[in-house]
């Protein structure tokens, strides 16, 4: 614990939704919900306007639509979110060499290590300057917490939301924490909170009064001792600049359960290729290939295979994933598939052929292992955030954690048909182009815009861009040759352009 509030915690406000509002002028001040748009989609982020209707992250998208029927429902654009995150993280690294990113939109900073603040006044001035710099560079708002420990800095930033700053003076921690709900403390989820409530403990002050022995008796030695220290405001964890990635993974949730074994194998192959792309982008290779299968009854199985050495070769990962799939019964249907690589390294085994032959299946006895989540699993640990699980979860919030949240079925159709078609005298008709709500497009005449919706052979586009006035809406055929997918424009800077 420090004698000065020189640990800063930054948390961007409703990050994904705020980026969409900044990118799409017509959505400013409106309810925006970002997440999977299919029947099994989940909310990744909701704007503050949408939260007034009760919409929140991790909520099923169907429930969100019932609560907020007039909201704008958009797919995530992770490439843009990573670009904005890189700008924010660069500003943090100007303050200190000790920056600990937790996700794309959240990080701790040790201000003393950077020599920018040694007392309360300096810390507050640095925090206010940071918020102004973020606003100027991205057009977005972030909330800042300042305290003598990481736990209290995070509590402070949460209390400061939205777009605020809160500094907790050392020595005032217990007074500030006492009236807060026990759910304020990190690690106290719904189950622990309900367990404590049944024991008559609902506030942090009551938690401290219960004493360590009583808490150990209630929730176990490790958890009880940790709860008691947090209730007293004690936390001596340092800010760690780099956290090694534990795994890289991608997964798809499908709108309709998959039963065709050929289709399932094809999806696993595509997931393996996507996983390797992310693995290479993060500068890693890995030894252990992991297959995740969630079946029709929500039972989740994982299988893994450890290679002789680390690899980033897509053929090796595909072969390993295919072998693992052979040991899984998918008869009743599959609702989710995932492929991951763990045991990461920053080099690649040279002898890939020998590596493939020497694969050692883990759990070869055929026993099912239930799915588990790394404690540090976040929305998107890769992409320059120093995160711990570079998960690309398609059709979920996860999000987090990466990747556009669309159905795996739609992605498969976009990539092409499965198998080899029989020769035909008649040419196959071109598949109908799909336009996901929120995706970027460009028209040869009207310039850049974004998809508001599509259906019945038509796509509706609003032509506007960051910094412009709300734009006009036009409707086109889905196969209009003058309409093409486009990369996102920067939120701030020279990205503004006008149509031809």
Residue 351 burial (10 A CB sphere; 0-12, 13-18, 19+) = exposed
Q: Which residues contact 275 (CB under 8 A, 6 or more apart)?
A: 248, 249, 250, 317, 339, 340, 341, 392
Measured CA distances, 376 to 93, 249, 386 (Å): 22, 14, 11
Containing 305, the helix (H) or strand (E) segment is strand 300-311
Residue indicated by tokens 């035909």: 424
**Beta-bridge partner residues of 443:** 447, 483
State yes or no: is 175 an active-site residue. Answer: no
SS3 content of the chain, % helix, strand, coil (to 5): 35, 25, 40
Task: Calculate ∠ Cα 323-335-187, nearest 5°.
Answer: 95
Question: Distance between CA atoms of 247 and 245, rounded to whole angstroms?
Answer: 6
224-261: burial string, b at 16+ Cβ within 10 Å, e else: bebbbebbebebeeebebeeebbbbbbbbbbbeebeee
**Beta-bridge partner residues of 390:** 248
Q: Which two tokens stand for residue 286?
A: 């890995």
Measured CA distances, 492 to 3, 84, 127, 202 (Å): 38, 10, 21, 44
Q: How many CA atoms lie within 13 A of 444 on its CB side?
A: 5
Question: Distance between CA atoms of 375 and 363, rounded to whole angstroms?
Answer: 22
Q: How far apart are the first and last CA of the chain?
A: 59
Measured in degrees and rounded to the nearest 5, phi and psi for residue 234 equal -95, 130
Task: Provide the H-helix boundaries in 115-260.
Answer: 120-138, 150-160, 173-177, 190-198, 204-210, 212-219, 221-231
Q: Which of 50, 45, 55 is nearest to 19 (CA)?
A: 45
- Cβ atoms of residues 80 and 51 within 8 Å: no
Question: Distance between CA atoms of 404 and 411, rounded to whole angstroms?
Answer: 10
Which residue among 20, 49, 106, 251 is the active-site one? 106
| Catalytically annotated residues | 106
């Amino acid at each position: 614990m420090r004698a000065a509030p020189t640990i800063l915690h930054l948390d961007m406000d409703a990050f994904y939704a705020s980026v969409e509002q900044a990118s799409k002028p017509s959505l400013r001040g409106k309810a925006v919900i970002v997440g999977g748009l299919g029947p099994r989609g989940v909310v990744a982020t909701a704007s503050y306007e949408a939260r007034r209707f009760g919409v929140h992250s991790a909520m099923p998208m169907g429930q969100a639509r019932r609560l907020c029927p007039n909201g704008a429902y958009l797919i995530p654009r992770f490439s843009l979110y990573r670009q904005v995150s890189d700008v924010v993280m660069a500003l943090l690294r100007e303050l200190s060499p000790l920056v600990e990113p937790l996700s794309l939109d959240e990080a701790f900073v040790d201000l003393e290590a950077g020599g920018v603040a040694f007392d309360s006044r300096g810390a507050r001035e640095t925090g206010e300057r940071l918020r102004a710099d973020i606003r100027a560079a991205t057009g977005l708002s972030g909330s800042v917490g300042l305290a003598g420990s990481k736990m209290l800095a995070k509590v402070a930033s949460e209390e400061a939301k939205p777009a605020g700053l809160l500094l907790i003076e050392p020595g005032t921690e217990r007074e500030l924490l006492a009236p807060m709900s026990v759910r304020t403390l990190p690690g106290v989820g719904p189950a622990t909170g309900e367990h404590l409530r049944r024991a008559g403990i609902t506030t942090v002050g009551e938690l401290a009064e219960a004493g360590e022995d009583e808490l150990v008796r209630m929730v176990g030695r490790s958890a009880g001792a940790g709860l008691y220290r947090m209730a007293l405001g004690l936390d001596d964890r340092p800010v760690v600049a780099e956290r090694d990635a534990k795994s890289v993974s991608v997964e798809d949730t499908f709108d309709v359960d998959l039963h065709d074994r050929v289709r399932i194998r094809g999806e696993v192959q595509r997931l393996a290729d996507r996983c390797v792309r992310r693995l290479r982008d993060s500068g890693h290779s890995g030894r252990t290939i992991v297959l995740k299968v969630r079946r029709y009854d929500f039972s989740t199985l994982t299988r893994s295979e450890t290679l002789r050495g680390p690899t980033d070769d897509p053929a090796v990962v595909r072969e390993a994933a295919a072998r693992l799939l052979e040991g899984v019964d998918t008869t009743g249907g599959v609702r989710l598939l995932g492929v991951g690589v763990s045991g990461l390294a920053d080099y690649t085994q040279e002898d890939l052929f020998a590596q493939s032959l020497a694969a050692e299946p883990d759990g070869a006895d055929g026993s099912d292992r239930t799915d588990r989540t790394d404690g540090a699993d976040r929305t998107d640990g890769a992409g320059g955030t120093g995160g711990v699980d570079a998960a690309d979860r398609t059709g979920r919030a996860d999000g987090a954690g990466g990747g556009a949240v669309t159905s795996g079925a739609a992605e498969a159709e976009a990539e092409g048909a499965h198998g080899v078609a029989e020769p035909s005298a008649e040419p196959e008709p071109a598949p109908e182009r799909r336009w996901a709500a929120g995706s970027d497009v460009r028209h040869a005449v009207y310039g850049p815009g974004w998809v508001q919706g599509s259906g019945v052979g038509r796509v509706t586009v609003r032509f506007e861009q960051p910094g412009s006035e709300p734009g006009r809406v036009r409707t086109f055929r889905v196969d209009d040759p003058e309409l093409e997918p486009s990369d996102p424009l920067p939120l701030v800077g020279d990205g503004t352009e006008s149509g031809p």
